[in-house]
Structure 1
Amino acid sequence: MAIEMSTSTERSSSDDKSGPKTRSTWAVTRSVWYAMFIREAIGRTMADRMGWFWMIAEPIALIGIMIFIRSFVLNDRLIVNAEFIPWLIVGLMGFHLVREGMMRGMGAINANQALFTYRQVQTSDPVMVRNFLEGMLRTFVFLLFIAGGLLLGIPLVPDDALYALFSWLSLWGLGLGLGLTLSVVATLVEELERIVKIISLPLLIISGVIFPINHLPHWLLEYLMWNPIPHGLELLRLGFFEGYHVVKGTSLLYLWFFILSLNALGLMLHIRFSHKLKAK
């Protein structure tokens, strides 16, 4: 008995000396992101039985309405070096990628308050996970539209696939930057979330999603091009339609200036107001 006790004591002491293996910070972050991604994916796709249906039906209905307005009400479907329906679909898909990244990121902190009791979870984690999930879903829906276009004879295959992919990822990054920044500001100032929701519809119009904004007067176009979204949409369309005439003033450098600035600002705000956001 004494031998067994001494042996067990030696084992326990040796175990204490070795101790449990500690994981790196990156390994912990990966685990947190993976767990949150599974949680968000289940809630986004399976909480509502009609979730997948509305993800596809909503853009189809919106495209149908826009085609009706432009074709039968305004009698205008002229787009230089691009067919109207594919031009409209590409614009809507790109705009919704930015908008949903912004809107869902904005509400991520309040929706995940219970998870902040775990010290491993940072306030920026749910925003980034939601944006990644939304981007994946929007990419899948866009691929379905491209496949459907091929079946229906609608030219939706990009002429420059690499450029179109880069522009798509750029819009994805813009949505992430907006989500990171607004998630902090809207959580601290709750009224701002309502204002952002209100301006999302006018943003659809002034971003060149429904009609080419280069038809507008030059003095007005200069102000509208301060908005980075038209830059991303025009570059995305340029990847899909060879020879497409982008709106004057479109700049990839200007777009990426906004992407990097908004992401940096959003991360700094999360670090600065982390304790206030967790205490909400």
Structure 2
Amino acid sequence: MREMATSYGRSPGGYLWAVIEPAAGIALLSALFSLGFRNPAIGTNFAIFYATGLVPFMMFTDLSNKVAMALLFSKPLLNYPSVTFLDALLGRFIVNFLTQIMVSYVVFVGILMMFETRTIPQVSGIALATVMGATLAFGVGTVNAVLFTAFPIWQRVWSILTRPLVLLSGVIFIFDNVPQPYRDYLWWNPLIHVVGKMRDSFYPTYDSSYVSYAYLFGVSAILMLFGLIFLRRYHRDILDF
């Protein structure tokens, strides 16, 4: 409840802005690319094509950043013995994960009602892609929760390093259209697998054989493990910096 009040209760509109941001991004991309292209890389509708890339991407960035800032955000509460670092991480993750599910539902349903997209959404596939993105976000956020707190400069470095991600994660193109050897390099970006699974869940003819669940969940688990180990051992020292 504290997370909900502080994250969305302070600004006019509250949760409305969580929906407006991806919707505006999708509308802008659709308008720009429709001027130069007759059809998107898959299908016939620009809005649903960019939504299947931008929605999971924005979910990852929002969740990972919120989890990464959890210790700094809840630092006063962590002085109470009954409040642990895990409470801070999970509190931020759960509230914002539920928010992103709501945003995804509103955006996708809105596009499907407004346009003839010629897609066949698969709820189970969409749910799996959402879980993939959320798991990766929690892993990245947990590691960054350590680094952001211990090394404040890392927050700025991370912001710079991740700016090209929207271009490197298959949001505005499809993985198959990338020429070799760059396609092999991009495969190592876990977000490629999240976006690929989301697009596969809307386009039945889309070939997502490159998506590796083992790789995505393996990377996420390793990041979580290292982040939680360091937090368990050093979180008190880190908060005293």
Same topology, TM > 0.5: yes
1:77 pairs with 10, 34, 39, which one?
39
Change in CA separation of 1:157 and 1:78 when aligned onto 2, cut-off 3 Å: closer
Q: Is 2:189 the counterpart of 1:227? A: yes
1:87 maps to: 49
2:161 pairs with 191, 199, 213, which one?
199
Instruction: Write the distance in 2 (CA, Å) between the matches of 1:56 and 1:173.
Output: 21
Identity of aligned residues (%): 22
1:268 pairs with 225, 229, 233, which one?
229
Amino acid paired to 1:60? A
2:201 maps to: 239
In the TM superposition, what is the alpha-carbon distance from 1:213 to its structure 2 partner? 3.5
2:213 pairs with 231, 237, 252, which one?
252
Change in CA separation of 1:158 and 1:268 when aligned onto 2, cut-off 3 Å: farther
Amino acid paired to 1:160? Q
| Partner secondary structure for residue 209 of structure 1 | coil
1:40 maps to: 3
| Partner secondary structure for residue 125 of structure 1 | helix
In the TM superposition, what is the alpha-carbon distance from 1:78 to its structure 2 partner? 3.3
Instruction: Write the distance in 1 (CA, Å) between the matches of 2:42 and 2:72.
Output: 45
Alignment RMSD = 2.0
Note if contact 1:149-1:156 (Cα within 8 Å) is conserved in structure 2.
no
1:177 maps to: 139
| Partner secondary structure for residue 201 of structure 1 | coil
In the TM superposition, what is the alpha-carbon distance from 1:156 to its structure 2 partner? 8.7
In the TM superposition, what is the alpha-carbon distance from 1:180 to its structure 2 partner? 0.7
Which of the pair is proportionally richer in helix? 1
In the TM superposition, what is the alpha-carbon distance from 1:76 to its structure 2 partner? 5.9
Deviations, residues 151-210 of structure 1 (Å, cap 9, x unaligned): 313449753211221221111111111111111012111111111222332111100112
| Partner secondary structure for residue 103 of structure 2 | helix
TM-score, structure 1 as length reference: 0.80
Note if contact 2:51-2:108 (Cα within 8 Å) is conserved in structure 1.
no
Deviations, residues 20-59 of structure 1 (Å, cap 9, x unaligned): xxxxxxxxxxxxxxxxxx1001112211113323212211
Instruction: Write the distance in 2 (CA, Å) between the matches of 1:210 and 1:220.
Output: 16
Greater Cα shift, 176-185 or 144-153 = 144-153
In the TM superposition, what is the alpha-carbon distance from 1:83 to its structure 2 partner? 4.0
